[in-house]
Structure 1
Amino acid sequence: MSIKPAVAATPDPLAGNRQVPGLPSILLEPTVRAALLEDLGHAGDLTTDAIVPSHAQSQTRLVARQDGVLAGLDLARLAFQLIDPSMRFEAHLRDGARLSQGSAIATVRGSARAMLTAERTALNFLCHLSGVATATASIADSIRDYRARVTCTRKTLPGLRALQKYAVRVGGGSNHRFGLDDAVLIKDNHVAMAGSVREAVARARAGIGHMVKIELEVDTLAQLDEALALGVDVVLLDNMSIDDLRTAVGMAQGRAILEASGRVTPETAPSVAATGVDLIAIGWITHSARTLDIGLDA
């Protein structure tokens, strides 16, 4: 069996600035279905079923009401089509597109009842994930002149981690570990319970496979020196000053990936990136991102 090399695709006019593969529907559907069931409760949509005739058809558009970055379009589509598989969802943009106020995102056609029943669930996903992508882009844009990348954390909303981390990638960021099971991150409490940094690292190495990386959190340059001597893969520089971050980069000289964290904003990110760190970890881009205002307009 021979496999032909991939041929570069013609640029897609619908594609956004950030080309990120979408998540498979089989991963999205359980979350969207659960959200719809939560909304429908035990009796369905009492308001819509009482007011809108069952035969009524409608056409509406998803429209951006403010500037931002689009994410979550597949979840919106699923919300409408799980209520009524015959609903037609025509996307005019792709996740990653830069939105302006008034941008037409998609047109929805079909049962008026289904449209109104699914509207809030579709918008909840679309507005939230677009908000995460927009927050991430605000950092990524501010540090585009530097080598550092913005990365998310495990500070995600319960049940939405895979979706939020997808939105971070759409916004131009990178993902930290997805859970407790795909990397080791030794923090201060682990060190306290092990008795020392050396012992914590030794126990971690003895308990993991050869494919798993070890990251160690430090908050002083002395701790960084110990981390480098122990040969950990990544060092998390927690709440260090700009001067200390710059010194840390000089000390490491590429021996470990350096990740800075601690109350970073779009305004302060460039000065952090300018120190030469590899990554900037930010929790608020997932746990506290503002929703992006998107509406379903007739």
Structure 2
Amino acid sequence: MTAMPLTPLPRTMFEPMIRRALDEDLGLAGDVTSAAVIPPDHRSEVVASARQPGCIAGLDCAELACALVDPAITVTRHVNDGDSVSSGAPIATFQGPSRSLLIAERTALNFMGHLSGIASVTADLVRRVEGTHVSIACTRKTTPGLRALEKYAVRAGGGMNHRYSLSDAVLIKDNHIAIAGGVGPALTSAKQTVGHMIKIEIEVDTLAQLEQVLEIGADAVLLDNMTPATLREAVGMIDGRAIAEASGGITPDTVRVVAETGVDLISMGWITHSAPCLDIGLDFVSSHP
């Protein structure tokens, strides 16, 4: 499966997130430290640099944080989202009123660090499965309110997005199956209910469940917490009749083994909900009083 192309998110999608973050940081009195220490007309140049290797994402967020604080801030990019950087590499240079730069600093770095962390672990997983036809995908296990940005970061790292929301597709999981009375009733009901534009995927834990699914038919099958040997057998049973997705307990150390079973897609929730931030610092370069 082919990874989605990386295209910028429309500003309207993430501007509310940046505004909320700035409002949260400014509180009710603004940046009292900068106001007490820095002359109002002082100007500076600062540079954001990677303090560890990784894949960059979130530059649009950093630029918007600066623009919302003060349109007088200028930003010069040295890399783009989706680029890999080494430790110490400059990412972007910021010039403008010193007080404004200090106000925007933490919000800009928070978004860049978080999103670059997601992009970096995704890029690492993509590298680990090179040579197979498998794609790395995220899930809906995202930070509330940040889903669009976090899924963008996955794409920046070369991964694919699973559902964006509950309305995108039918994904029948274990609780749906239990409540509906089994794989057969759940899948049959879904096929009789949804329109022709809605894809249907169903989760299975056993090969017996998979056999039922193949008799009824589905667009994709989520093979949950299966061993590599069982996954290989499941892929043989599916034989191209549905997309084969592996999920559950997959780590960087096991992702290659899973990919080599022949599945089409590997989805992991932890790449969005537990990816460590990429360490990015903002360092003073010069003053322009």
TM range (shorter): over 0.9
CA distance in 2, matches of 1:206, 1:51: 68
1:56 to 26, 32, 42: 42
**1:90 match: secondary structure:** strand
Matched, 1:295 2:281: yes
Q: How far did 1:208 drift?
A: 2.0
The amino acid of 1:40's aligned partner reads L
**2:28 maps to which residue?**
42
Q: What residue is the counterpart of 1:7 in the other structure?
A: none
Two-structure CA RMSD over aligned residues (Å): 1.1
Whole-angstrom CA distance in 2 between matches of 1:265 and 1:147: 18
**1:155 alignment counterpart:** 141
Q: Which runs of 4+ in 1 moved over 3 A?
A: none
Confirm whether residue 23 of structure 1 aligns to residue 9 of structure 2.
Answer: yes
Identity between Structure 1 and Structure 2 (%): 56
Answering whether residue 224 of structure 2 is matched by residue 238 of structure 1, we say yes
Q: How does 1:148-297 map to 2 (within 5 A)?
A: 148-297=134-283
> Which residue does 2:68 correspond to in 1?
82
Name stretches of at least 5 consecutive residues in structure 2 with no aligned partner. Answer: 285-289
Correspondence 1:105-184 to 2 at 5 A? 105-184=91-170
Which amino acid counterpart does residue 21 of structure 1 have in structure 2?
Answer: T
Aligned residue among 49, 54, 57 for 1:68: 54
Question: What do the CA deviations read for 1:42-70 (whole angstroms, capped 9, x no partner)?
Answer: 11111111111110100000100000000
Deviation at 1:221, TM superposition (A): 0.6
Partners in 2 of 1:19 and 1:111 — Cα distance? 36
How far 1:131 moved relative to its partner? 0.1
What code does the residue aligned with 2:249 have?
R
- Counterpart residue type for residue 222 of structure 1: A
Higher relative contact order (CA 8 A, sep 6+): 2
TM-score w.r.t. length of structure 1: 0.92
**Which AA in structure 2 matches 1:270?**
R
Per the alignment, residue 83 of structure 2 pairs with 97
| Bigger shift: residues 203-212 or 127-136 | 203-212
Give the Å deviation of 1:129: 0.2
Compare 189-198 and 82-91 and name the one that shifted more: 189-198
Equivalences, count = 281
Do the aligned residues in 2 keep the contact of 1:19 with 1:96 (CA within 8 Å)? no
Could you give the per-residue CA deviations for residues 153-191 of structure 1, whole angstroms, max 9, x where no partner exists? 011111111100000011010000001010111011111
- What is the CA-CA distance between 1:19 and the residue it aligns to? 5.9
Q: Decide whether aligned partners of structure 1 residues 256 and 31 sit closer, same or farther in structure 2, where only a CA change above 3 A counts.
A: same
Query: In the superposition, relative to structure 1, how do residues 259 and 19 fare at CA in structure 2: closer, same or farther (>3 Å)?
Result: closer
What secondary structure sits across from 1:127 in the alignment? helix
The structure-2 alpha-carbon separation of the partners of 1:19 and 1:210, relative to structure 1 and needing over 3 Å to count, comes to closer
Whether the 8 Å CA contact 2:135–2:159 is kept in 1: the answer is: yes
Q: What letter matches 2:19 in structure 1? A: R
* Helix, strand or coil at the partner of 2:142: coil
Moved more, 197-206 or 246-255: 197-206
| Structure 1 letter corresponding to 2:207 | L
Unaligned ranges ≥5, structure 1: 1-17
Counterpart-to-counterpart distance in 1, 2:44 and 2:209 = 63
Moved more, 146-155 or 203-212: 203-212
Tell me if the contact between 2:49 and 2:88 (Cα under 8 Å) persists in the aligned partners.
yes
